[in-house]
Structure 1
Amino acid sequence: MRIFLRVLAGLVALLVIAYAGVVGYMYLNQRSLQYSASGEITPLDGTLLSRAEAVEIQSGDGVLAGWYEPPQPGKPLIVYFKGNTGSFTAEHERYEQFVAEGYGFLAFDYRGFPASPGEITQDNVLADAIASYDWAAEKGFPMVIWGRSLGSGPSTYVASQRDAEALLLETPFLSAVTVAAERYPFLPVHWVMQDQFPVNDWIADVGEPVMVAHGTADVVIDVSNGERLYELVPNKDELWIEPGAGHSDLWARGIWPRAEAFFERAMAQ
């Protein structure tokens, strides 16, 4: 019996040490695990954006690289907050569609993403978001905000701090720590995660009309995140849940016509 208890105690000790090792590894490497910041930069002259310009925006101790084009009369400027993968330049097809319909846009990389040197932290992402919005606001055009995936965090934060015409959230999370807890239910992520992006808290201070778009086959951020977040929206406009759509499918599934109709409704208010 004594031998059995000693073996059992040894196994328990090994499990505790292994668990502590996993938690320690994830704590020390959490940002490299959380963000996917590598990727190629598409040159502006390699797109159809013939009237857009490359811009630099000062933010904290860094400079953000972005693209900007003003809107046509009667249209708003879309401030676009990118997702977690690669550079904003990879989504030039979206910006080309924006300007084809007369919308202006500002898109950029947060510090630490391919086009903007610096360190990725929640504080830096939020500061970059505010700096970019304020830079665009100085142009004097009506403003609408579009946040995709990771961008649902900074876009909601900006909408809670500034007055835009509308906020569109594409595949948003309830919070980043919610997604982490769903993915790693055996880890104490609420205690150790540094960049939690509590969108569920920030949304309470968003006065703009809000549209949420999500797909039922999203395996990166479960659709329940978008559904639960929409329940918390003070000024609801539309919840669009697309059956069978994955995390990166909504553009091909027709989010732009819905977004344009949403922006037109918001501008008419």
Structure 2
Amino acid sequence: MKLLRRILLVLLVVLVVAYVGVVGYMYFNQRALQYDAQGEITDLADTALSGAEDIAVPSDDGVVHGWYQAPQAGKPVIVYYKGNSGSFSAEHERYEQFVADGYGFVAFDYRGFPASPGSISQQGILDDATVMFDWAAEKGFPLVIWGRSLGSGPSTYVASVRDAEALLLETPFLSAVTVAGERYPYLPVGLVMQDQFPVNQWISDVTEPVLVAHGTGDVTIDVSNGERVYALAPNKDELWIEPGAGHSDLWDRGIWSHAEPFFERAIAD
């Protein structure tokens, strides 16, 4: 009996040490685990955006690099906040469609992502997001905000502290810590996670009309996140849930056919 107790005690100690080790590893490497900031940069000259320009905007102690094109008369500028993977430039097909339909756009990499040198943090991303919105606002055109995945964090934050015409959230999370907790329910992510992006708090201060788009097949951010964010939005416009769509499928599934009339409604009001 004593031997059995000793064996059980040793096993318990081993499990505790292993658990503490996993938590410690997650804490000290959390940003490397949270962000996927690698990827090739597409040159603007290799796109169909013949009227767009490269921009470099100072932000805190660094510089944010992106692309900008002014809209046609009567159209807004889409301030586009990218997702977690690679460079903003990889999504040039979207910007080409915006421009083809008369919209302007500004899109960029947060500092620490491929086109913008620096280190990544929640505060850095929020600072860059706000700086780029303010830079676009100085152009004098109406602004609408589009946040995709990770970009749902800074886009919601900016909409809560600045005045835009509309906020579109594509595959948003309720908060980054919610997603982490759903993925790792056995870890105390709420205690150790530094970059939590509390969209569930920021959305309550968003007065702009809100469209949320999500897919039921999303295994990166569960569709329930989008549904819960929309439920919290004070100024609801549309909740588009696409059956079977995954995390990166909504552009091909027709999100622009929802986004464009949404922006038109918002500008008309």
Which category of TM-score, normalised to the shorter sequence, fits these structures? over 0.9
Task: Tell me what 2:229 maps to.
Answer: 229
SS in structure 2 of the partner of residue 55 of structure 1: strand
**1:152 aligned residue:** 152
Determine the structure 2 residue equivalent to 1:256. 256
Letter in 2 for 1:65: H
**Correspondence list, 1:22-37, <5 A:** 22-37=22-37
Q: Aligned Cα RMSD in Å?
A: 0.3
Between the two proteins, what is the percent identity of the paired residues?
74
TM-superposition CA deviations, 1:142-177 (whole Å, max 9, x none): 000000000000000000000000000000000000
Which residue does the alignment assign to 2:206?
206
What does 1:171-190 correspond to in 2, within 5 Å? Answer: 171-190=171-190
**Aligned equivalent of 2:63:** 63
Which consecutive aligned stretches of 4+ in structure 1 deviate over 6 angstroms post-superposition?
none
Match of 1:141 in 2: 141
2:168 is paired with a residue of what secondary structure? strand
Please give the secondary structure, in 1, of the residue aligned with 2:45: helix
* Letter aligned with residue 121 of structure 1: S
1:1-269 map, 5 Å: 1-269=1-269
1:1-39 C-alpha deviation (Å, 9 max, x unpaired)? 111111100000000000000000010000000000000
Distance in 1 (CA, whole Å) between partners of 2:235 and 2:248 is 26
Q: Secondary structure at the match of 2:126?
A: helix
Structure 2 gaps of 5+ residues are none
C-alpha displacement of 1:257:
1.3
The number of residues matched between the two structures is 269
**CA distance in structure 2 between the partners assigned to 1:166 and 1:257 by the alignment:** 16
- Report the AA paired with residue 253 of structure 1: R
| TM-score, with structure 1 as normaliser | 1.00
1:251 partner letter: W
Cα deviations by residue, 1:195-250 (Å, 9 ceiling, x for unpaired) = 00000000000000000000000000000000011100000000000000000000
Unaligned runs of 5+ in 1: none
> What TM-score, normalized to structure 2?
1.00
